[in-house]
């Protein structure tokens, strides 16, 4: 079989290509179900997939009640990080002095494994949602700053020269030329950033919390309710997926908007 892209792309190969991954997925789930059923595997270690589905319906209220605390803090942290990060990136592009002073420090700070700061935020901001919000902002701001600064810097030089020859002011150039050109960078950074915000909130909930999906996972872990744990993780996936598609939609709207200008 050739390693090159298949030139004969018939309907049949299309069907096969979309069925193969589903088939593999179902196969793995099937083996899992059969194995746990056949060996009567301890439910607390590896529950059957069907038990997970049952756990979702049994604990529906409990799980859905805990979605909002996690999702709202993650979204809030992400939005704050985007606003502050964007502001810092614009500042650093506008003033080379600010860039020289801040950028090496930010990059240097980024080397520290940021997850290690989580207990410090609990210490600083308490065990309420503030500490998780603060940590989510902290952990999700770096991708925004770094990629946005790179994006604003990498504007087409000929466009910048055109701006200069048309005597556009620095601010005009920044907002009318550099910013729209940096949008793809911003969007990819936002996708990374929302994931990081979710991680931040979940880690924060692991360390100390009395609500949220991360907390629910820990509670289920303490009671050895592994089926509930897996069910909660599935819901976390849905929340992540929802945010991801939200950003994809927002980025589409933004691109259309700026494209029309």
Partner 1 sequence: MLDLILTKLRLNVFTNFRQIILPVAFFSVIVFLWQHLVDQKFVPTIILPPPGDVVDLFIAQRKFMWGHALGTLYECFAAFIFSTILGLSLSCLITISYFARRAIFPNLVLFNLIPTIALAPLFILWFGVGTEARLAYGMCLALFPIVVASSTGLLNTGVTYLKLCESLTAGRWQTFFAVRLPFALPMIFTGLRIGLTLTIIGVVVGEFVTAQSGIGYLISFAASGLETALALSAITFLLIVGLILFTGLVCVEFIVLRIFSGIAAP
* Nearest distance in Å: CB 163, partner 1: 23
Structure tokens, 151: 């994006």
Q: Exposed, middle or buried, 139 (CB in 10 Å: 0-12/13-18/19+)?
A: buried
> Site for partner 1 (CB under 8 A): which residue of 41, 94, 181, 221?
221
Candidate ranges 44-52, 80-88, 178-186, 250-258; the one touching partner 1 (CB under 8 A): 44-52
Candidate ranges 61-69, 156-164, 224-232, 246-254; the one touching partner 1 (CB under 8 A): 224-232
> Site for partner 1 (CB under 8 A): which residue of 9, 44, 172, 210?
44
97 contributes a contact to partner 1 by CB under 8 A: yes
If one counts every other C-beta atom within 10 angstroms of the C-beta of residue 135, the result is 29
Residues 105 to 124 in contact with partner 1, rule: CB under 8 A:
105, 111-113, 115-120, 122-124
Residues 170 to 189 in contact with partner 1, rule: CB under 8 A:
none
* Nearest distance in Å: CB 175, partner 1: 25
> Site for partner 1 (CB under 8 A): which residue of 155, 214, 227, 247?
214
SS3 state of residue 12: helix
25-55 in b/e burial notation, b at 16+ Cβ within 10 A? eeeeeeebeeebeeeeeeeeebbbbebbeeb
Q: Helix 179-207 and helix 118-125: axis angle, to 10°? A: 80
88 contributes a contact to partner 1 by CB under 8 A: no
Rg (CA), the chain: 24
> Site for partner 1 (CB under 8 A): which residue of 9, 15, 20, 60?
20
């Amino acid at each position: 079989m050739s390693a090159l892209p298949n030139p004969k792309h018939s309907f049949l190969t299309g069907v096969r290509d979309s069925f193969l991954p589903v088939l593999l997925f179902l196969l793995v789930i099937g083996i899992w179900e059969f194995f746990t059923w056949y060996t009567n595997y301890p439910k607390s270690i590896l529950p059957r997939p069907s038990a997970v589905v049952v756990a979702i319906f049994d604990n529906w209220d409990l799980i859905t009640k805990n979605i909002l605390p996690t999702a709202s803090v993650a979204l809030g942290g992400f939005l704050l990080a985007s606003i502050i990060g964007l502001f810092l990136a614009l500042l650093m592009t506008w003033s080379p002095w600010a860039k020289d002073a801040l950028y090496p420090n930010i990059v240097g700070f980024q080397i520290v494994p940021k997850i290690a700061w989580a207990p410090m935020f609990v210490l600083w901001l308490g065990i309420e949602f503030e500490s998780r919000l603060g940590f989510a902002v902290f952990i999700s701001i770096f991708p925004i700053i770094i990629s946005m600064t790179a994006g604003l810097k990498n504007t087409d030089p000929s466009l910048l020269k055109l701006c200069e020859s048309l005597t556009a002011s620095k601010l005009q150039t920044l907002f009318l030329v550099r910013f729209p050109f940096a949008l793809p960078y911003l969007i990819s950074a936002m996708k990374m950033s929302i994931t990081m915000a979710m991680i931040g909130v979940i880690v924060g909930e692991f360390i100390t919390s009395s609500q949220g999906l991360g907390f629910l996972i820990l509670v289920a872990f303490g009671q050895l309710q592994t089926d509930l744990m897996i069910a909660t993780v599935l819901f976390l996936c849905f929340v992540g997926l929802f945010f991801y598609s939200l950003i994809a939609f927002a980025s589409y709207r933004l691109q259309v908007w700026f494209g029309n200008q």
